[in-house]
């Protein structure tokens, strides 16, 4: 049937473009459509089905499955090298044996971490696929290999009588991860690595199962060939494979001499993590096949090829101890101290365990043997515990400390959050710098000129350890800092002085109490009216503030109950930090309560932040995005897409003049 033949030819050609040239000609949907048409034709006329029709990849003919196959030409293994010196020795010996006067040309190829296979094509048709086995005899995996779409069932071009193509079957990383994700969701056992997953897929008794696994193949050598002359060089051999429709590595490259090999190795090692599949090194092959023949073999290892391995990315080691580190924001991070192990090109002796949930989920204990992975420059991680190696006695669970290892303040682990936190705030050495940065920031006490660099210096030189000490700085103490002129010092002192006049909401926000943002600070200030009243309240009383739940209330009460925090607050006030008490308002009585505002564009008479702050102080909610719940959109110059959206939703609009009028009329004279 002509149409069926044409479809098969078309599908094979599309496959070639997709897998060998890595340059798809049509979208997947078009391929699927042609395949569908061919299936329909073959279903209607079963007599026209050919064994090498692309519909017959899963033939179900598992009869010969795993029978032994004796390789006509033995399948080689490669000698490994782990250092530049070993590569240099290899190159030197090759040059000596060949009595070479010039540098040798090598073909350098990525060393794929999969399973070596040999595929026999007779008159262009795939007749057998076998694993390497012991090199002399392998297993027949024809039915399974046929299901791999990058394996052509029929060779392109004028194929010789017999052509054995050799390469590597592997599972790309994306497919491996997707497969493991699915297995995890079903609660099934995970594959340890892509190589194991590929081996498992190739050994399936049912080719239908193999067909569902994301296997691919890349060819790099030939076995027995009859009816064709082979080219003189490995580089040309790869070109011949491609010409026949067999996929080769796009990374393979001809290089000159030892220097060329090592340069290729270094460049590929740097890109290792970007490749879509796992490689465990580089293979160098002497390019001229006549030279290969002269050099011959030692046992089954050729003297003309060498595998230059990358450092292993996974190793076993033991967890000796677990310590908790306190981060800039008070988060406690468990860090495992390991028996030092060389992995991924570096010695790893510490690795973060992220949080307690992670530890509990993976049942990690001190004394356990674990698999440590370090891939490229990625931070080392623990992949899994080797439970088989867990000693019967001598391991113990990892426990979260009740008190901060840095400052001794209580540690809290909030329900629903993975992180455990130190409650020490700025009394904790680990959190000092971050606390000071926050205290001085624009929305807090707005102390101009106190950037990250300056604060870092102040803390490191021991000049400032809590916010109140900022106000003890003098021209003299500042003068000792890097790049600090008299003028800058004077400016900083002026900024400090200016910051002393603040508001209660800003002051509360500046303290850096966990979960107390600007809106909560404002709500607290409005509810209690003065700091004294807030400090006298217990958690239950604080929870009466609108929108303050039990977690925030507890966090505020605990912060303000701490003697260290109280001392700092008293000292700040003694330095002259002050604000006017504000009138206590039940939120519902606030003039703009229940209204939601969005402010967009540039306002002429005040900043957007200032407008938002004024609106909030009048009880309004301020949101960043327009929705059907928005009461008013305030728009300045260049309002952008929010204005269009508000208009579309029928939200009321306010220009700057209308906003100022609203603010004026909502603000009572005594405020
Ligand atoms: C791999 N594994 O990628 C060879 N290999 O050549 C490459 N293996 C090889 N070549 C001869 N690229 C024997 C093995």
How far apart (Å, rounded) are the C-alpha atoms in residues 577 and 604? Answer: 31
CB atoms within 10 A of CB 306: 26
Ligand 1 pocket check: which of 73, 106, 109 to mutate, most ligand atoms within 8 Å of Cβ? 109
Closest C-alpha residue for ligand 1 atom 5? 111
- pLDDT, residue 352, reads 93
How far apart (Å, rounded) are the C-alpha atoms in residues 150 and 248? Answer: 10
User: Structural domain boundaries of the chain?
Assistant: 2-56, 80-309, 314-397, 425-499, 504-574, 587-666
Stretch 72-80: mean pLDDT: 91
pTM of the model: 0.61
pLDDT over 50 at 64, yes or no: no
Instruction: Please report which helix (H) or strand (E) contains residue 479, including its range.
Output: helix 475-479
Stretch 477-491: mean pLDDT: 90
Stretch 513-517: mean pLDDT: 88
pLDDT category at 189 given cuts 50, 70, 90 is: confident
Using the mean position of ligand 1's atoms as its centre, give its distance from the Cα of residue 161 in Å: 24
Residue 202 contacts by C-beta under 8 Å, 6 or more apart in sequence? 115, 117, 131, 141, 144, 145, 169, 210, 215
pLDDT over 60 at 61, yes or no: no
Question: How many Cα atoms are found within 13 Å in the side-chain-facing hemisphere of 44?
Answer: 8
Closest C-alpha residue for ligand 1 atom 7? 111
| pLDDT, averaged across the chain | 90
pLDDT over 50 at 650, yes or no: yes
Q: Are 76 and 135 in contact (CB under 8 A)?
A: yes
Stretch 541-550: mean pLDDT: 88
CATH number of this structure's domain 80-309: 3.30.470.30
- pLDDT, residue 258, reads 97
Phi-psi region of 551 (alpha: psi -120 to 50; beta: other; left: phi over 0): alpha
CB atoms within 10 A of CB 644: 11
Q: Is 113 in the pocket of ligand 1 (CB under 6 A)?
A: no
Rounded to the nearest angstrom, the gap between the alpha carbon of residue 532 and the centroid of all alpha carbons in its chain is 48
Query: Six-digit token pair at 440?
Result: 């001085």
As a whole-number percent, the residues of the chain with pLDDT over 70 amount to: 97
Stretch 465-480: mean pLDDT: 93
- pLDDT, residue 132, reads 92
Q: Are 282 and 268 in contact (CB under 8 A)?
A: yes
pLDDT over 60 at 380, yes or no: yes
- The mean-pLDDT minimum among 161-170, 252-261, 389-398, 570-579 falls in 389-398
- pLDDT, residue 65, reads 54
Q: Is 4 helix (H, G, I), strand (E, B) or coil?
A: helix
Q: Is 307 in the pocket of ligand 1 (CB under 6 A)?
A: no
Using the mean position of ligand 1's atoms as its centre, give its distance from the Cα of residue 283 in Å: 6
Q: Are 362 and 333 in contact (CB under 8 A)?
A: no
Q: 597: which strand partners?
A: 622, 632
pLDDT category at 668 given cuts 50, 70, 90 is: low
pLDDT category at 424 given cuts 50, 70, 90 is: confident
Superfamily of domain 314-397 in the CATH hierarchy: Nucleic acid-binding proteins (2.40.50.140)
Q: Is 78 in the pocket of ligand 1 (CB under 6 A)?
A: yes
pLDDT over 60 at 30, yes or no: yes
Q: CATH topology of 425-499 equal to that of 504-574?
A: yes
In terms of average pLDDT, the best of 22-26, 58-62, 628-632 is 628-632
Concatenated DSSP letters of 30-65? HHHHHHHHHHHHHHH-GGG--TTSGGGSS----TTT
Stretch 656-661: mean pLDDT: 90
Superfamily of domain 425-499 in the CATH hierarchy: 5' to 3' exonuclease, C-terminal subdomain (1.10.150.20)
Could you list the beta-strand ranges (E) of 310-445: 314-326, 331-343, 346-352, 365-366, 369-373, 381-385, 396-397, 411-413, 420-422
Q: Is 238 in the pocket of ligand 1 (CB under 6 A)?
A: no
- pLDDT, residue 671, reads 39
pLDDT category at 59 given cuts 50, 70, 90 is: low
Q: Are 7 and 38 in contact (CB under 8 A)?
A: yes
- pLDDT, residue 613, reads 83
How far apart (Å, rounded) are the C-alpha atoms in residues 648 and 625? Answer: 14
* pLDDT tens per residue across span 283-305: 999 999 999 999 998 877 899 99
Stretch 632-661: mean pLDDT: 90
Q: Is 280 in the pocket of ligand 1 (CB under 6 A)?
A: no
pLDDT over 50 at 670, yes or no: no
- pLDDT, residue 429, reads 86
Q: Are 335 and 366 in contact (CB under 8 A)?
A: no
More confident residue, 571 or 417: 571
Domain 587-666 annotated CATH 3.20.20.70: no
Rounded to the nearest angstrom, the gap between the alpha carbon of residue 184 and the centroid of all alpha carbons in its chain is 19
Q: Is 444 in the pocket of ligand 1 (CB under 6 A)?
A: no
How far apart (Å, rounded) are the C-alpha atoms in residues 368 and 541? Answer: 47
pLDDT category at 506 given cuts 50, 70, 90 is: very high
How far apart (Å, rounded) are the C-alpha atoms in residues 548 and 525? Answer: 12
pLDDT over 80 at 34, yes or no: yes
Q: Is 111 a catalytic residue?
A: yes
Rg of the chain taking only CA atoms, in angstroms: 36
More confident residue, 69 or 29: 69
- The mean-pLDDT minimum among 238-242, 400-404, 508-512, 646-650 falls in 646-650
- pLDDT, residue 472, reads 95
Q: What is the architecture of the domain spanning 2-56?
A: Orthogonal Bundle (1.10)
CA-closest candidate to residue 487, choices 499, 477, 479, 498 = 479
Closest C-alpha residue for ligand 1 atom 10? 220
Instruction: From residue 480, give the alpha-carbon distance in Å to each of 174, 440, 451, 466, 477.
Output: 55, 21, 17, 19, 6
CB atoms within 10 A of CB 39: 14
- pLDDT, residue 383, reads 87
Question: Strand 331-343 vs strand 346-352: parallel, antiparallel, or unpaired?
Answer: antiparallel
As a whole-number percent, the residues of the chain with pLDDT over 90 amount to: 59
How far apart (Å, rounded) are the C-alpha atoms in residues 509 and 14? Answer: 63
Residue 274 contacts by C-beta under 8 Å, 6 or more apart in sequence? none
Catalytic residue among 2, 111, 309, 567: 111
Q: Is 306 in the pocket of ligand 1 (CB under 6 A)?
A: no
CATH fold of 504-574 reads DNA polymerase; domain 1 (1.10.150)
Stretch 592-600: mean pLDDT: 87
- pLDDT, residue 81, reads 93
- pLDDT, residue 254, reads 97
């Amino acid at each position: 049937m002509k149409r069926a033949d044409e479809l098969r030819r078309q599908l094979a050609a599309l496959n070639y473009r997709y897998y060998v040239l890595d340059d798809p000609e049509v979208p997947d949907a078009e391929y699927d459509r042609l395949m569908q048409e061919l299936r329909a034709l073959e279903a209607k006329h079963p007599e026209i089905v050919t064994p090498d029709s692309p519909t017959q990849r899963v033939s179900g003919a598992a009869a010969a499955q795993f029978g032994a196959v004796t390789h006509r030409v033995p399948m080689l293994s490669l000698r490994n090298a782990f250092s530049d010196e070993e590569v240099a020795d290899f190159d030197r010996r090759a040059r000596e044996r060949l009595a070479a006067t010039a540098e040798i040309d090598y073909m350098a190829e990525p060393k794929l971490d999969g399973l070596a296979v040999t595929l026999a094509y007779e008159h262009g048709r795939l007749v057998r696929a076998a694993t390497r086995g012991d090199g002399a005899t392998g297993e027949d995996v024809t039915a399974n290999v046929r299901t791999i779409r990058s394996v052509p069932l029929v060779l392109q071009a004028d194929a010789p009588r017999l052509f054995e193509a050799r390469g590597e079957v592997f599972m790309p990383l994306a497919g491996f991860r997707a497969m493991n994700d699915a297995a995890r969701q079903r609660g099934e056992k995970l594959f340890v690595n892509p190589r194991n997953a590929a081996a498992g897929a190739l050994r399936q008794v049912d080719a239908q199962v193999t067909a569902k696994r994301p296997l691919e193949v890349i060819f790099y050598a030939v076995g027995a060939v009859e009816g064709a002359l082979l080219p003189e060089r490995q580089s040309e051999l790869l070109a011949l494979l491609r010409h026949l429709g067999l996929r080769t590595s796009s990374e393979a490259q001809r290089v000159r001499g030892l220097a060329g090999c090592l340069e290729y190795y270094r460049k590929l090692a740097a890109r290792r993590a970007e490749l879509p599949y796992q490689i465990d090194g580089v293979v160098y092959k002497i390019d001229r096949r006549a030279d290969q023949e002269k050099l011959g073999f030692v046992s089954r290892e050729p003297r003309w090829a060498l595998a230059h391995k990358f450092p292993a990315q996974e190793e076993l080691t033991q967890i000796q101890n677990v310590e908790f580190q306190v981060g800039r924001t008070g988060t406690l991070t468990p860090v495992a101290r390991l028996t030092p192990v060389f992995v991924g090109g570096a010695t790893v002796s510490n690795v973060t365990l992220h949080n307690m949930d992670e530890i509990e989920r993976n049942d990690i204990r001190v004394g356990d043997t674990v698999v440590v992975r370090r891939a490229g420059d990625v931070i080392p991680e623990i992949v899994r515990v080797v439970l088989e190696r867990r000693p019967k006695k001598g391991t113990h669970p990892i426990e979260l400390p009740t008190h901060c290892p840095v400052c001794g303040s209580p540690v809290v682990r909030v329900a629903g959050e993975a992180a455990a936190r130190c409650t020490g705030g700025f009394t904790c050495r680990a959190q000092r710098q971050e606390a000071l940065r926050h205290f001085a920031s624009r929305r807090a006490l707005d102390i101009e000129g106190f950037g990250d660099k300056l604060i870092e210096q102040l803390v490191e030189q021991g000049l400032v350890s809590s916010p109140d000490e900022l106000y003890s700085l003098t021209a003299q103490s500042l003068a000792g800092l890097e790049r600090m002129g008299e003028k800058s010092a004077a400016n900083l002192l002026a900024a400090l002085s200016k910051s002393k006049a603040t508001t209660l909401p800003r002051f509360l926000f500046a303290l850096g109490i966990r979960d107390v943002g600007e809106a909560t600070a404002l709500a607290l200030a409005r509810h209690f009216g003065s700091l004294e009243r807030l400090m006298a309240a217990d958690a239950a009383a604080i929870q009466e503030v609108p929108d303050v739940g039990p977690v925030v209330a507890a966090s505020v009460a605990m912060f303000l109950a701490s003697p260290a925090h109280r001392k700092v607050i008293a000292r700040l006030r003694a330095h002259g930090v002050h604000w006017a008490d504000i009138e206590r308002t039940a939120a519902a009585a606030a003039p703009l309560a229940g209204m939601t505002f969005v402010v967009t564009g540039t306002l002429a008479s005040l900043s957007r932040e200032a407008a938002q702050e004024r609106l909030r102080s009048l009880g309004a909610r301020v949101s960043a995005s327009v929705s059907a719940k928005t009461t008013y959109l305030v728009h300045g110059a260049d309002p952008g897409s929010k204005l269009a959206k508000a208009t579309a939703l029928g939200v009321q609009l306010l220009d700057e003049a209308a906003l100022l009028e609203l603010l004026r009329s909502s603000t009572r004279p005594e405020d």
